[in-house]
Structure formats: structure tokens, C-alpha cells
Amino acid sequence: MTAVKLYPPRPDKVYLFGTCLIDMLYPEAGLDAVRLLEREGTEVIFPDDQTCCGQPAYTSGYHTEARAVARAQLDLFPEPWPIIVPSGSCGGMMRTHYPSLFAGTPEEARAREVADRVFELTEFLVHVCHLTLEDRGAPEKVAMHTSCSARREMGLAETGPALLAKLGQVELVEQERASECCGFGGTFAVRHPEVSGAMVEDKSRAIEAAGAERFVTSDCGCLMNIAGRLAHRDSTLEGEHIASYLWRRTS
């Protein structure tokens, strides 16, 4: 649980940290995040040298390697603009774990300073942009899966649903045990595939049982996991990153 965060007024410029999963697997989601921010009159700077936040190594226990990769990101955001991350998982890594990862190193102060400027995309759209949306899509029943990192590490259980609630034609359906993990957990999914498989099976069934015609999430790890499970058993239910969903329905 994070403390109450004081949000700044909407800035003219922001940085986007696109995350490695979006870069490689779901690039449209990253571009849609840019489009949403630009529509709000915010210039988006995408530092070209960004790669990965370092989380996969961090959670696997390889902190030297994680620190080296994280260090390479610290220099990419020299101006005092907010850093927008379209993922609660990577956002949580940067906001909550960078300070401890760099504790006692020469980069500690800079890591803290960067961490303080990190905002998850939906958080920024709700609390800083005060986004209004005009829904142009057809009526649809949608389930939201909020990632565990967004929900617990960043304290953002409400921002995703709050954005979907702004779409007039969208009915947000409640799934059973919505706060339960989908079973991704980074390398957990491959180190404990059976347990992870049982978790994602339950999650995907809960989304289907809620009567959803689509599910949306703000984390591509969860998206890859849940959508992958649904596709594996030939379900027609598809998932989408919330940035793409919002952009698609309002552009």
C-alpha cells in the first residue's frame, strides 16, 4: 500500500518508458499511449536508448545484472518531467525498487529522483490529465484485469476501471476474485509452469464467466499470460492493453 501521492499539475512534456514487453510484443500499445497523451496536449519524449527496467533479473535474484541494466536507464530522463510507464509492473519496479536497488551506491540519489517521477499510465491519465473520453465504439461488455503490481505495489486498483467507466458504451463486468493474481509473475511462469498454468486457467475462466466480450489490462505480462491461455484453448475472447482500447474507441 502506497502513501497518498500528491499529483502535479499537467505538464507540457513527459517521458515515456515503453517497457521491453511492449517494445517487442505489443508496440501498438506503446504508440497508443503516446497518442492518448499527445491528444491531451502533452508532448511525449521517447528516449531512444531505453531498453528494460531490469525487473526480470531483479525478481530472479540477479541484482548485479538488474542494477547494471537499471543504471543504463537512469540517464535517459535528465529533465524534471514525469516518466510515464504503461505497466504497473515496470512502474512498480522503478518507483518502489530502484531506491533500494541503488541504496549505498553513487546513483542512489538519482535513482530516488527518477523513482519519484514515475507514473503508471492509467494513474497519470486519471490523476494528472483528468482525462475525459468520448466513446465512439459499439456497446461492449469488458472485464478489467489490474495487475498485482499496479494494485498492490503502486496502489492503483481504481485507475483502470475509472478510465473504462468514462466510456459510455462500455459495461465493466465484475469477475470473481478480481484481485487474484493471473499467475504470470515473470520467471515464475516458467519455473513453476503447472501452478502458474492452474492460476491462469482460473483467471481466464473467471473472465469468461463474468460474461465479458473482451478483457483489458494495463500490463503486458498479464495480457500475454491470460490472452495466451485463452488462445491456447481456442477461446474467442481477446485481450487488449488499456491504452489501445481507449485510443481505439475514442479516435
Positions touching other proteins (CB under 8 A) are 1, 18, 20, 22-28, 30-31, 34, 46, 48-52, 54, 56-63, 65, 68-69, 71-72, 148-149, 151-153, 179-181, 183-201, 224-225, 227-229, 231-232
Burial class (CB in 10 A: 0-12, 13-18, 19+), 215: buried
Which residues, 6+ apart, have CB-to-CB distance to 192 below 8 Å?
A: none
The packing angle between helices 63-74 and 108-116, to 10°, is 70
In 1-75, where does DSSP find H-type helix? 20-24, 27-39, 55-60, 63-74
Is the CB of 50 or the CB of 217 nearer to other proteins?
Answer: 50
> Smallest distance, Å, CB 249 to other proteins?
20
Is the CB of 135 or the CB of 158 nearer to other proteins?
Answer: 158
> Smallest distance, Å, CB 156 to other proteins?
13
Is the CB of 7 or the CB of 188 nearer to other proteins?
Answer: 188
Is the CB of 216 or the CB of 230 nearer to other proteins?
Answer: 230
Sheet with 83-85: list strands edge to edge. 43-45, 13-16, 83-85, 118-120
How many CB atoms are closer than 10 A to CB 144? 25
Q: Pick from 6, 7, 27: which is nearest to 18 by CA?
A: 27
> Smallest distance, Å, CB 68 to other proteins?
5
Is the CB of 75 or the CB of 134 nearer to other proteins?
Answer: 75
> Smallest distance, Å, CB 52 to other proteins?
5
Q: Are strands 13-16 and 83-85 parallel, antiparallel or unpaired?
A: parallel
> Smallest distance, Å, CB 72 to other proteins?
5
